[in-house]
Structure 1
């Protein structure tokens, strides 16, 4: 785990949420199990394999030493998450976590929760996707957006801040949408957003009535029983896009699994909505560097005629 310790030794004091070490990308041999994220004022260390007490002690010592250099006299706060494919456990290792933990990204504020659940309220690897949406919204003031599998609605916040006219957020997890509503209030966005706690696949009629949309964002889970299984459900989703998109509208499709590459999305769109034209693949954040672009997050845009 030397590469992780070397990274900690030169860490800056973070002001925004972001990843600082990404062993999962395979670019640091021997560190594939580790990631380190900043959710100021808290560090989050995640291990995707069993971690020993000695390893955690080494990381804690390294963080303490570096924190004393960049923030002398301030308490070190860090959380450890042990994670596997089915569950995650979270443990406070030092300091504390704010009762209402708010982090920033590109001028936006988001609630996060590091001590419960597998996910934390803001997917850091989607930062460039949110920037893409900001650029789109700035160039299309008043545009109408449909945000599918909205989770805590970070895409919606980005779109509305940049000039979108309205965003319809849909997710079957009502608790996540409630956090999304709070995220909008945190950013002074008191209008323009709707929140629908529904199953996407049972709501096509409602969604059609709310359209057509100038942008559809779809960031589904890749493998979540009872919600979305990419090989089976992405075709069902994509075939509905043409009837929901306005002429010239864009669909931003996201796929986050190393088991399926970008060709999967190309083939699904060609089979189910061949009238859509491929536009571009959005670069993923440099901090999430991967030895294979096809293993990494895929964020890709198609346009209606």
Structure 2
């Protein structure tokens, strides 16, 4: 656990943006592979995966955080194992009535004490930066329609609209997650603001019907960020192919697709081989780099974010 304690000893006590501080899961810190420490200002969140921490270890971590952050320290601990999680507030308090964090000029609601997912996936920060830069650089601002599949709380939609997208269609099976997404748009002044694009929110199982999604297209950007394994919803090994087949007909000429996959069990070749087979007209452009804090001993295990482009007219 010493690498985690060493990191805590050098952390910035009052960070302004949400980000990962310590990524033991990347395998670069032997003995800490089960640990991750995140900043959701003004709260620190420590997570352990599969292997719980003892009360003695938690007390040692508390002392390290307290020595660095002083009397204003607020932190929580979450133990995650086999799809279940238990979260405890260890010191301080959470902001009331709502916890709002910032990232790259956008604001998001988070909920650290409820469930495994907190409202904002920090490992996707560079993916959101890529979307912001792509939209800002699009030559024809009169039309830039974005399809955000598996939208969750719609962070991609927020940055796309901030950068000038004309319309974003957010699709997710969870009406509750989309409800938080609507609040995220309100937080950022993206609802009915003059000169702003529009967002729609569709609580929908895409595999039951593509009709509504297809009629709203074609799209200049499609974002595909599914769970790697969610029983009854999405299993990457069999369901990603069903998405890939749809991309050519949903993309506008010259449009781009951002494909995301976050599991150490499937490598880069899984996405690339299937795209070559199922959507051969789309050209591979680049792999978006992950945030530096999420460095991994094997980049094939880490989050994979790939960009593809449809052929242009003519």
* TM-score, normalized by the shorter chain, greater than 0.5: yes
3-state SS of the aligned residue for 1:170? strand
Q: 2:74 aligns with which of 68, 74, 77?
A: 77
1:225 aligns with 2:227: no
1:7 aligns with 2:7: yes
Cα separation, 1, equivalents of 2:30 and 2:129: 31
Q: 2:201 aligns with which of 195, 200, 215?
A: 195
Cα separation, 2, equivalents of 1:266 and 1:281: 11
Question: CA deviation digits over 1:243-274, x for unaligned, max 9?
Answer: 10000000000000000001000011111111
Deviation at 1:85, TM superposition (A): 2.8
**Runs of 5+ consecutive residues of structure 1 not aligned to the other structure:** 69-73
Indicate the residue corresponding to 2:117 in structure 1.
119
Residue range with higher mean Cα deviation, 118-127 or 91-100: 91-100
1:182 aligns with 2:180: no
Runs of 4+ in 1 over 2 A off after TM superposition: none
Indicate the residue corresponding to 2:167 in structure 1.
166
Q: 1:60 aligns with which of 59, 62, 75?
A: 62
Deviation at 1:203, TM superposition (A): 3.0
What RMSD in Å do the two structures reach over aligned CA positions? 0.8
Indicate the residue corresponding to 2:46 in structure 1.
45
Cα separation, 1, equivalents of 2:229 and 2:37: 24
Deviation at 1:201, TM superposition (A): 1.2
Indicate the residue corresponding to 2:129 in structure 1.
131
3-state SS of the aligned residue for 1:265? helix
User: TM (normalized to structure 1)?
Assistant: 0.97
3-state SS of the aligned residue for 1:200? coil
Cα separation, 1, equivalents of 2:291 and 2:209: 33
3-state SS of the aligned residue for 1:196? strand
Deviation at 1:202, TM superposition (A): 1.8
Deviation at 1:275, TM superposition (A): 0.7
Cα separation, 2, equivalents of 1:151 and 1:286: 24
Cα separation, 2, equivalents of 1:203 and 1:109: 32
Question: CA deviation digits over 1:171-202, x for unaligned, max 9?
Answer: 00000000000000000001410000001112
3-state SS of the aligned residue for 2:176? helix
Deviation at 1:21, TM superposition (A): 0.4
Cα separation, 1, equivalents of 2:280 and 2:137: 26
Cα separation, 2, equivalents of 1:119 and 1:203: 27
Cα separation, 2, equivalents of 1:14 and 1:84: 29
Indicate the residue corresponding to 1:238 in structure 2.
244
1:25 aligns with 2:26: yes
User: TM (normalized to structure 2)?
Assistant: 0.94
Cα separation, 2, equivalents of 1:60 and 1:254: 35
Cα separation, 2, equivalents of 1:84 and 1:128: 27
Cα separation, 2, equivalents of 1:235 and 1:180: 27
3-state SS of the aligned residue for 1:136? helix
Indicate the residue corresponding to 1:71 in structure 2.
none
Indicate the residue corresponding to 2:195 in structure 1.
none
**Runs of 5+ consecutive residues of structure 2 not aligned to the other structure:** 193-197
